[in-house]
Structure 1
Amino acid sequence: MSDIQTSTVSEEGFESTSQVGDFNLQIDALGETGPTPNATLVATYASCFLPAFRVGGQKTGNDELGKVQIDADAELDDSDDLTDIEFDIYVEADLSDDEFAEITELAEDICHVHDALKTDLHADITVVGDAF
């Protein structure tokens, strides 16, 4: 048996509903009734990276990062394929650039989505401290 099982159904058109455990996720390739698959991938990447960033903070003795927000930007080519992803991470804690760099490096090793994406698609990351 696999570790993760999902079921995705499309009754018509380009909309689909994915069942992930007890949760339903509405995705629309045209972006009319839900986020597009690419938008969902970018959001999933950020949703994985944020807790990995917190764990990186804990591993460096920075348990109290406070509020953390990732604003993600992604670029598409003419075929609507993702070509670039950038994360701007806003952190309530006021740490040094070196501390943020260490936390980010650990988060890159911890985040499963970061690991799963091809190397040339990993996010370029900017961290902004004392942001709130």
Structure 2
Amino acid sequence: MSDIQTSTVSDEGFESTSNAGEFELTIDATGEAGPDPNTVLVADYAACFLPAFRVGGQQRGHDNLGKVQIDADADLDGDDDLEAIRFDVHVESDLDDETLGEIVDRAEGICHVHSALREELRADVTAHADAF
């Protein structure tokens, strides 16, 4: 038996509904009825990276980072394939650049989506402390 099972159905057109456990997500290649697949991937990547960033902080002795926000940007090539992803990570806690870099490095090692992406598509991460 597999570890993850999903089901995706499209009755017509380019809109589909994916079920993952008890959760349902509408994805639309046209971006009309829901986010398009590239947008979902970028959001999923950020949603995985953020808790990995928190764990990285805990592992570096920073148990309370406060509010953390990731603003993600992505570029598409001429075929609408993802070409580049960038994260601006904003952290409420006042940390120096060296500590932020250590936490980013650790988060990259923890985030499962980061590990699953080909190396040239992994996010270019910039972290900002004392952001809120």
TM-score (norm 2): 0.99
Q: Quick one: distance in 1 between partners of 2:110 and 2:99?
A: 17
Partner of 1:37: 37
Match of 2:64 in 1: 64
Aligned match of 2:26: 26
Aligned length: 132
**Equivalent position SS for 2:25:** strand
SS of aligned partner of 2:3 = coil
Counterpart of 2:78?
Answer: 78
In the alignment, the residues of structure 1 paired with residue 130 and residue 103 of structure 2 have an alpha-carbon distance, to the nearest angstrom, of: 15
Aligned residue identity for 1:16: S
**Shift of the alpha carbon at 1:81?**
0.2
Match of 2:108 in 1: 108
> Separation in 2 of the partners of 1:123 and 1:31?
23
The letter of the residue matching 1:41 is: L
Unaligned runs of 5+ in 1: none
Aligned to 1:91: 91
Deviation at 1:69, TM superposition (A): 0.2
- The offset of 1:91, in angstroms, is 0.3
Aligned to 2:48, what secondary structure does the other structure show? helix
Q: Partner amino acid for 1:73?
A: D
Aligned alpha-carbon RMSD (Å): 0.3
Q: In the alignment, residue 47 of structure 1 is paired with which amino acid?
A: A
Please state how far the C-alpha of 1:104 moved relative to its aligned partner. Answer: 0.3
- SS of the residue corresponding to residue 72 of structure 1 reads strand
Task: Provide the rounded CA distance (Å) in 2 between the counterparts of 1:49 and 1:96.
Answer: 20
1:119 matched residue in structure 2 = 119
Per-residue CA distance 1:36-62 (angstroms, 9 max, x = gap): 000000000000000000000000000
- How far apart are 1:79 and its partner, in Å? 0.5
| Deviation beyond 2 Å, 4+ runs, structure 1 | none
- Aligned-partner Cα distance in 2 for 1:128–1:101: 10
Counterparts of 2:2 and 2:106, CA distance in 1: 27
Match of 1:9?
9
CA distance in 1, matches of 2:130, 2:96: 10
